[in-house]
Amino acid sequence: MATRILPSHPSALPRTHDPNNNGSGCSRSNNLPVRRKAEDHPVLALLDDHRRLDADGIRRIHARMLRLGLLGHPYSASRLLAACSLSPSADLRYARRVFDHIPAPNLFTWNIIIRAHASAPDPRLALLLFSSLLRHSPHSPDKFTFPFAIKAAAELAALREGAALHAMVAKSPLLRSDVFVLNSLVHLYAACGDSNLSLRVFEKIPERDVVSWNSAITALAQGGRWDEALQLFEEMDGENVRPNDVTMVSVASVCGKKGDLELGKRIHSYIERNDIKQSLILDNALLDMFVKCGSLADAESLFDGMTTKDSISWTTMLVGYAKSGQFDAARRVFDEMPRRDIASWNALISCYEQSGRPKEALDLFHESQHADATPDQVTLVAALSACSQSGALELGCWIHAYMEKNNLELNFHLTTSLIDMYSKCGDVDKALHVFGCVSRRDVFVWSAMIAGLAMHGRGREALDLFEQMQEAKVEPNTVTFTNILCACSHAGLVEEGRLYFSQMLPVYGISPTADHYSCMVDILGRAGRLEEARGYVENMPMPPGASAWGALLGACAVHKNVELGELACKQLLELEPRNHGAYVILSNLYARSGRWDAVAMLRKWMKDSSLKKEAGCSSIEVHGVVHEFLVGDISHPMKEKIYLQLEDMASRLKAAGYVPNRKLVLQDIEDDAKEKALYLHSEKLAIAFGLLRSCSPAPIRITKNLRVCDDCHSVAKLVSGIYNRNIILRDRYRFHHFTGGSCSCMDYW
Looking at the Cβ atoms of 229 and 449, the one nearer to DNA is 229
Buried b (16+ CB within 10 A) or exposed e, 509-538: ebebbbbbbbbbbbbbbbbebbebbbebbe
Looking at the Cβ atoms of 168 and 638, the one nearer to DNA is 168
107 binds DNA (CB under 7 A): yes
Residue from 71, 159, 312, 551 touching DNA (CB under 7 A): that is: 312
Among 2-10, 203-211, 596-604, 740-748, the segment contacting DNA (CB under 7 A) = 203-211
How far apart (Å, rounded) are the C-alpha atoms in residues 714 and 649?
A: 13
Buried b (16+ CB within 10 A) or exposed e, 619-630: bbbbeeebbbbb
Q: Is the peptide bond before 476 cis (omega within 30 degrees of 0)?
A: no
215 binds DNA (CB under 7 A): yes
Distance of CA 575 to the CA centre of its chain: 32
Of the candidates 525, 745, 747, 557, the one whose C-alpha atom is nearest the C-alpha of residue 666 is 557
Three-state secondary structure of 463-518? HHHHHHHHHCCCCCCHHHHHHHHHHHHHHCCHHHHHHHHHHHHHHHCCCCCHHHHH
300 binds DNA (CB under 7 A): no
How far apart (Å, rounded) are the C-alpha atoms in residues 513 and 358?
A: 29
Looking at the Cβ atoms of 420 and 683, the one nearer to DNA is 420
Q: Name the maximum alpha-carbon separation found in the chain.
A: 113
Among 225-233, 245-253, 518-526, 642-650, the segment contacting DNA (CB under 7 A) = 245-253
Minimum distance from CB of 433 to DNA (Å)? 23
Residue from 153, 249, 267, 537 touching DNA (CB under 7 A): that is: 249
Looking at the Cβ atoms of 212 and 423, the one nearer to DNA is 212
667 binds DNA (CB under 7 A): no
23 binds DNA (CB under 7 A): no
Minimum distance from CB of 20 to DNA (Å)? 15
How far apart (Å, rounded) are the C-alpha atoms in residues 246 and 431?
A: 45
Phi then psi for residue 380, to 5 deg, are: -70, -40
How far apart (Å, rounded) are the C-alpha atoms in residues 390 and 409?
A: 25
Minimum distance from CB of 246 to DNA (Å)? 4
Amino acid at 546: A
How far apart (Å, rounded) are the C-alpha atoms in residues 518 and 624?
A: 37
In this structure, the strands spanning 617-622 and 700-704 are: antiparallel
Residue from 343, 510, 567, 638 touching DNA (CB under 7 A): that is: 343
Residue from 70, 113, 154, 484 touching DNA (CB under 7 A): that is: 154
Ordered DSSP codes for 27-39: GTTSSS-TT--GG
Looking at the Cβ atoms of 131 and 354, the one nearer to DNA is 354
352 binds DNA (CB under 7 A): no
Amino acid at 600: A
Looking at the Cβ atoms of 215 and 561, the one nearer to DNA is 215
532 binds DNA (CB under 7 A): no
413 binds DNA (CB under 7 A): yes
Looking at the Cβ atoms of 211 and 715, the one nearer to DNA is 211
Q: Is 311 helix (H, G, I), strand (E, B) or coil?
A: helix
Minimum distance from CB of 341 to DNA (Å)? 5
Looking at the Cβ atoms of 311 and 726, the one nearer to DNA is 311
398 binds DNA (CB under 7 A): no
Residue from 13, 43, 179, 474 touching DNA (CB under 7 A): that is: 179
Residue from 98, 255, 276, 382 touching DNA (CB under 7 A): that is: 382
Minimum distance from CB of 100 to DNA (Å)? 17
Residue from 75, 94, 723, 733 touching DNA (CB under 7 A): that is: 75
691 binds DNA (CB under 7 A): no
447 binds DNA (CB under 7 A): no
Q: Is 230 helix (H, G, I), strand (E, B) or coil?
A: helix
Buried b (16+ CB within 10 A) or exposed e, 274-299: eebeeeeebbbbbbbbbbbbebbebb
111 binds DNA (CB under 7 A): yes
Minimum distance from CB of 145 to DNA (Å)? 7
482 binds DNA (CB under 7 A): no
Minimum distance from CB of 548 to DNA (Å)? 29
Looking at the Cβ atoms of 306 and 638, the one nearer to DNA is 306
442 binds DNA (CB under 7 A): no
**538 membership: H or E segment, kind and range:** helix 530-538
Q: Count of CB atoms within 10 A of residue 350's CB?
A: 22
91 binds DNA (CB under 7 A): no
Residue from 199, 246, 686, 729 touching DNA (CB under 7 A): that is: 246
How far apart (Å, rounded) are the C-alpha atoms in residues 555 and 76?
A: 82
Binding site for DNA (CB under 7 A): 74-75, 78-79, 82, 106-109, 111-112, 115, 118-119, 142-144, 147-148, 151, 154, 179-181, 183-184, 187, 209-212, 214-215, 218, 244-247, 249-250, 253, 279-282, 284-285, 288, 310-312, 315-316, 319, 341-344, 346-347, 350-351, 354, 376-378, 381-382, 413
